[in-house]
């Protein structure tokens, strides 16, 4: 009887751990969003190594750095039309998956950040949220010499992370980091075709290289919580073991 109980409890523990097993990237919720006439439901992806939640939506209208920053920062509230930007809608209500508890650390959504140390090139990971995602979390490789297996080959749970050749914008995403201070004319970007972090002008000034894509992230504290069904399963199993034990005793 004691061996049977231990076996059952061990099996339940394995089941509970498996149900909450945390891959480095995990879809933990969804949210509705509509911009520029395109509406959809988008995944919220938790990078549990960086304590970041990525909104799996690429703002693919290439814009300069100030406008893409503004887009990300107003996702929570929306913004009226202004300049050459249309009205920016707010995200819909987030639907969290069962088993997760989320507390925001950042007050608003933002573009991914990096370190302002003048570094340009491939394999820039430390301090770079996009570099960590590209290389560490998704397991991609940067371009070196005549290497052929490079770029955004692995997208993991992302459905809208892109290096769309038809967009003609060199597959580049803005970071939120200016290069050389907030008043500088330049900012960092990440190129998903080559795994390259670089610096370019914040505003286009007629330069297409300064009109890049954007994706939003937000720092958060995430913890897993028991799913109610797991507790019911445990209770039912314990009752079954007890009944089996009483029957064996009568025999």
Q: Each residue of 38-59: pLDDT tens digit?
A: 899 999 999 999 999 999 999 9
- For residues 169 and 236, state if they share a domain: no
Rounded Cα distance between 189 and 171, Å, is 10
**What pLDDT shows up at residue 235?**
47
Tally the residues of the chain: 251
Place of tokens 């914040």: 202
For strands 52-55 and 196-201, give the pairing: unpaired
What is the extent of the structural domain holding 244? 2-19+226-250
pLDDT surpassing 80 at residue 141: yes
DSSP sequence for 128-163: -HHHIIIIIIS--B---TT--S-BS---TT-SS---
Q: Each residue of 205-219: pLDDT tens digit?
A: 555 556 789 999 999
Q: Where is average pLDDT lowest: 95-109, 137-151, 228-242?
A: 228-242
Q: How far does the chain reach from its first CA to its final CA, in angstroms?
A: 13
**Contact predicate 106/112, CB 8 Å:** no
**154 pLDDT tier (thresholds 50, 70, 90):** very high
**60 pLDDT tier (thresholds 50, 70, 90):** confident
**What pLDDT shows up at residue 227?**
67
For strands 121-122 and 25-35, give the pairing: unpaired
- For residues 163 and 112, state if they share a domain: yes
Average pLDDT, rounded, for the chain: 83
Total domains in the chain come to 2
**What pLDDT shows up at residue 61?**
82
Tokens of 200: 């370019």
- For residues 66 and 92, state if they share a domain: yes
**What pLDDT shows up at residue 162?**
81
DSSP sequence for 34-56: EETTEEEEEEEEEETTTTEEEE-
Q: Each residue of 220-231: pLDDT tens digit?
A: 999 998 866 554
- For residues 165 and 238, state if they share a domain: no
Question: For residue 157, which of 52, 45, 58 has the smallest C-alpha distance?
Answer: 45
Residues in contact with 128: Cβ distance below 8 Å, sequence separation at least 6, in sequence order: 112, 113, 114, 115, 175, 190, 197
**What pLDDT shows up at residue 168?**
47
- For residues 203 and 240, state if they share a domain: no
Share of the chain above pLDDT 70, in %: 75
Residues in contact with 28: Cβ distance below 8 Å, sequence separation at least 6, in sequence order: 44, 45, 46, 53, 96, 97, 100, 102, 222
- For residues 121 and 218, state if they share a domain: yes
For residue 38, how many other CB atoms are within 10 A of its CB?
A: 9
- For residues 159 and 218, state if they share a domain: yes
- For residues 211 and 112, state if they share a domain: yes
**Contact predicate 32/94, CB 8 Å:** no
- For residues 132 and 194, state if they share a domain: yes
- For residues 206 and 124, state if they share a domain: yes
- For residues 245 and 188, state if they share a domain: no
- For residues 12 and 104, state if they share a domain: no
Q: Each residue of 166-206: pLDDT tens digit?
A: 544 458 999 999 999 989 999 999 999 999 999 999 986 55
Rounded Cα distance between 210 and 139, Å, is 27
pTM of this prediction exceeds 0.95:
no
**19 pLDDT tier (thresholds 50, 70, 90):** very low
**Contact predicate 230/15, CB 8 Å:** yes
């Amino acid at each position: 009887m004691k061996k049977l109980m231990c076996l059952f409890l061990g099996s339940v523990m394995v089941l509970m751990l498996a149900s909450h097993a945390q891959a480095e990237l995990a879809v933990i919720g969804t949210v509705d969003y509509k911009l520029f006439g395109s509406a959809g439901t988008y995944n919220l992806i938790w990078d549990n190594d960086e304590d970041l939640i990525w909104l799996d939506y690429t703002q693919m209208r290439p814009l300069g750095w100030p406008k893409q920053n503004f887009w990300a920062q107003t996702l929570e509230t929306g913004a009226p039309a202004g300049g050459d930007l249309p009205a920016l809608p707010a995200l819909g209500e987030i639907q969290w998956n069962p088993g997760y508890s989320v507390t925001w650390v950042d007050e608003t959504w933002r573009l991914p950040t990096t370190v302002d140390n003048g570094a340009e090139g491939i394999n820039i990971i430390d301090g770079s949220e996009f570099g960590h995602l590209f290389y560490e979390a998704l397991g991609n490789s940067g371009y070196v010499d005549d290497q052929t297996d490079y770029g955004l080959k692995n997208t993991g749970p992302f459905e809208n992370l892109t290096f769309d050749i038809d967009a003609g914008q060199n597959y580049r995403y803005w970071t939120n980091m200016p290069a050389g201070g907030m008043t500088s004319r330049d900012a960092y970007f990440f190129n998903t075709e080559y795994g390259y972090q670089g610096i370019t002008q914040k505003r286009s000034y007629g330069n297409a290289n300064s009109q890049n894509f954007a994706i939003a992230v937000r720092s958060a504290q995430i913890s897993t919580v028991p799913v109610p069904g797991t507790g019911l399963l445990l209770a039912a199993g314990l009752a079954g073991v007890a009944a089996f034990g009483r029957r064996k005793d009568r025999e």
